Amino acid sequence: MSNDEKLKNFIRNFIDIDLEQKRYGFVMTRFPPEPNGYLHIGHAKSVCLNFGLAAEYGGRCNMRFDDTNPVKEDLEYVESILNDVKWLGFDWQDRLYYASDYFDQLYECAEKLILSGQAYVCDLPPDKVREYRGTLTKKGIDSPYRERSPQESLDLFRRMRAGEFEEGEKFLRAKIDMASPNLNMRDPALYRIKKAAHHRTGDKWLIYPMYDYTHCLSDAIEGVSHSICTLEFEDHRPLYDWVLEKLDWPEPRPRQIEFARLNLEYTLMSKRKLLELVKENHVRGWDDPRLPTLAALRSRGLTPSSIRLFCERIGVAKKDSWIEMDWLDKAVRDDLNSQVKRVMAVLDPLKVVIENWPEGQEKALPAPFFPDEPEKMGYREVSLTREIFIERDDFRLEPDQDFFRLAPGREARLRWGGFIHCHEVVTDESGQICELRATLSERSRGLNPNGKRPAIIHWLSAKNSLPATVRLYDRLFLKPKPTGHLEEELNPDSLIERRQARLELSLAEAQPGQRFQFERLGYFMKISEKDGQKPIFNRIVSLKDGWAKMAKNR
């Protein structure tokens, strides 16, 4: 096995060893989002890992909201998160939990820690707490309240709960080691006073447990075997284990395993930045197809299976890195490739008049929806008429070396039709090309003057085609590794609307949510929104060309 494969499997290795040594009877994981934003593709990686591993080992995965912070949470987020996890294809059955469900138990555990001398109430104000904490190079200093008797701390803790003190006046902290090289172990806070109502527990609590304290206990209460989290919690693991150990939590205790979070090039996943993009109207909302949120990817047209495929392919690593957007694009293409019909659309139409084709004459050309296996999806007919549209970009007045498509004096092959030879270019007053004149023949005249065989281009009858609006999405940021300076880094062309686009007639019956490959252009989905009378299609992903080439060809 190569090193890479080993890395990909390091979580499985842990699980295998634990099962082998009978540390656990079966695998129990959880997905623990904080309900303070929409899920993004990074979260999808965690969802796929947690639910995926549980499924793989015949275990279970809980859905748990980490709702310890009463002020930041919102019902809208809870609903969207549940919806997104379901959409991704995962099922927590009846195991939907909230950390706030455990507040009573957490409180009892805190009293237990106080009584056994493992925790104390501290009266230091926040600035002193910071000062006493020390730094990576400087040891911390013991709080003057550290040696308070358990009885006194217990009394104060109960009075904190009863609301006798103000926020910041007192807090409960673990009694570990102010000289620890790990700052998380320097008597970390366990509970703080927060006089805020909670969306689930209402006014019941005036003190709230801290994340680190809550997380390990929630895992333990639920019988989680493997608590999979991102790398920034590696330094918190000693505290995770400490709490359970000092509470004498029965074995087997959950094992925390960290993996590198997903960073995707040309986008950002910080919730704060995403919120800023939405709030400042840089995008149209949480589901704007340019965002990396799952709601956005769904509205863009990505399938849940393509996201699962992407997460599986990128694997898990122990070191932070950036993943190229091409990985996601490729997973989307690979997923859609065998599922969708191939049809023709012209996004930026240029009219071609076929001079040797009689006015009014129409010919129906049979065309398979899935050319690689024509019988798989059947046939439709495309209509050939005297006036057709081709893609403006498939014509060059002065073609350079590597341009092989239509140009004056050159020939191109119409997909499913014959060969057109361009012999005249009509321009308007501004010099813009507005029409080509061509002749059509069944057979090619042979090689073009550049020595190449005529290229195949897509096209549509001018008369027998449908007007449509097509939205082309590009990267949201110009830089592969954006830092979040929106003014300089946002791509001004991240959305281009083709409002003059044309579609073949077979698309008249397309339903919102239906996906197609527009030949040579990419994969597209019809959306439910309309542009006046016109249907709108989103481009989900371009074809193999990659972003750069598509951008050039727009």
Q: Burial, 137: exposed, middle or buried (Cβ in 10 Å; 0-12, 13-18, 19+)?
A: exposed
Note whether 64 binds ligand ATP by CB under 6 A. Answer: no
> What 8-state DSSP symbol labels residue 231?
G
Helix axes 546-553, 325-337, angle to 10 degrees: 80
Among the residue ranges 36-44, 184-192, 421-429, 441-449, the one whose residues contact ligand ATP (CB under 6 A): 36-44
Smaller CB separation from ligand ATP, 53 or 507: 53
User: Of the residues 8, 261, 413, 479, which is catalytic?
Assistant: 261
210 token code pair: 């801290």
Note whether 34 binds ligand ATP by CB under 6 A. Answer: yes
User: Of the residues 133, 175, 271, 300, which is catalytic?
Assistant: 271
| Smallest separation (angstroms) from ligand ATP to the CB of 99 | 11
261 is catalytic: yes
Smaller CB separation from ligand ATP, 34 or 489: 34
Smaller CB separation from ligand ATP, 68 or 469: 68
Instruction: Give the 3-state secondary structure of residue 157.
Output: helix
Q: Which residues contact 95 (CB under 8 A, 6 or more apart)?
A: 60, 61, 62, 63
Three-state SS annotation for 365-418: EEEECCCCCHHHHCEEEEEECCEEEEEHHHECCCCCCCCCCECCCCEEEECCCC
User: Which has the closest alpha carbon to 99: 192, 220, 187, 203?
Assistant: 220
Among the residue ranges 31-39, 169-177, 354-362, 431-439, the one whose residues contact ligand ATP (CB under 6 A): 31-39
Question: Which H or E run includes 503?
Answer: strand 495-504
Residues in binding contact with ligand ATP, number by CB under 6 A: 14
Smaller CB separation from ligand ATP, 302 or 323: 323
Instruction: Give the 3-state secondary structure of residue 390.
Output: strand
| Window 266-295: contact mask with ligand ATP (x via CB under 6 A) | ---x-x------------------------
Among the residue ranges 28-36, 215-223, 359-367, 404-412, the one whose residues contact ligand ATP (CB under 6 A): 28-36
| Smallest separation (angstroms) from ligand ATP to the CB of 94 | 21
Note whether 46 binds ligand ATP by CB under 6 A. Answer: yes
452 token code pair: 């190449």
Note whether 69 binds ligand ATP by CB under 6 A. Answer: no
Task: Taking the CA atoms of 168, 174, 180 and 184 in sequence, report the sign of the dihedral they define.
Answer: negative
> What 8-state DSSP symbol labels residue 514?
-
Note whether 160 binds ligand ATP by CB under 6 A. Answer: no
User: Of the residues 8, 34, 234, 380, which is catalytic?
Assistant: 34
147 is catalytic: no
| Smallest separation (angstroms) from ligand ATP to the CB of 545 | 28
| Smallest separation (angstroms) from ligand ATP to the CB of 34 | 4
Note whether 491 binds ligand ATP by CB under 6 A. Answer: no
**Inter-CA distances, 123 with 106, 111, 142, 166, 218, Å:** 21, 17, 12, 11, 27
Query: Which residue minimizes CB distance to ligand ATP?
Result: 42
Note whether 514 binds ligand ATP by CB under 6 A. Answer: no
Note whether 261 binds ligand ATP by CB under 6 A. Answer: yes
Smaller CB separation from ligand ATP, 44 or 525: 44
User: Which has the closest alpha carbon to 118: 165, 185, 180, 68?
Assistant: 185
Among the residue ranges 33-41, 94-102, 183-191, 534-542, the one whose residues contact ligand ATP (CB under 6 A): 33-41
Among the residue ranges 43-51, 162-170, 307-315, 501-509, the one whose residues contact ligand ATP (CB under 6 A): 43-51
Integer Cα distance of 140 and 131 in angstroms? 8
> What 8-state DSSP symbol labels residue 505?
G
Smaller CB separation from ligand ATP, 293 or 469: 293
Q: Which residues contact 91 (CB under 8 A, 6 or more apart)?
A: none
| Window 202-241: contact mask with ligand ATP (x via CB under 6 A) | ---------------------------xx-----------
Confirm if 56 and 88 have CB atoms less than 8 A apart. no
Question: Which H or E run includes 304?
Answer: helix 304-314
Smaller CB separation from ligand ATP, 198 or 246: 198
554 is catalytic: no
Question: Which H or E run includes 97?
Answer: strand 96-98
Instruction: Give the 3-state secondary structure of residue 346.
Output: strand
**Inter-CA distances, 11 with 222, 255, 315, 318, 405, Å:** 20, 11, 10, 10, 51
Smaller CB separation from ligand ATP, 227 or 303: 227
Instruction: Give the 3-state secondary structure of residue 267.
Output: coil
Smaller CB separation from ligand ATP, 100 or 506: 100
Judged by CB under 6 A, the residue of 54, 85, 262, 325 near ligand ATP is 262
Note whether 383 binds ligand ATP by CB under 6 A. Answer: no
Judged by CB under 6 A, the residue of 42, 70, 188, 418 near ligand ATP is 42
Integer Cα distance of 367 and 346 in angstroms? 17
Confirm if 320 and 231 have CB atoms less than 8 A apart. yes
User: Distance between the two ends of the chain, CA-based, in angstroms?
Assistant: 44
| Smallest separation (angstroms) from ligand ATP to the CB of 426 | 53
Using DSSP bridges, classify how beta strands 171-174 and 119-122 pair: parallel, antiparallel or unpaired. Answer: antiparallel
Q: In the chain, count of helices (H) and strands (E)?
A: 16, 27
User: Which has the closest alpha carbon to 20: 50, 52, 57, 61?
Assistant: 57
Note whether 52 binds ligand ATP by CB under 6 A. Answer: no
Smaller CB separation from ligand ATP, 15 or 160: 15
309 token code pair: 């495929």
Note whether 254 binds ligand ATP by CB under 6 A. Answer: no
Among the residue ranges 40-48, 100-108, 202-210, 339-347, the one whose residues contact ligand ATP (CB under 6 A): 40-48
Query: Among all residues, which ones are annotated catalytic?
Result: 34, 261, 271
The residues that touch ligand ATP, with contacts defined as CB under 6 A, are: 32-34, 36, 42-43, 45-46, 229-230, 261-262, 269, 271
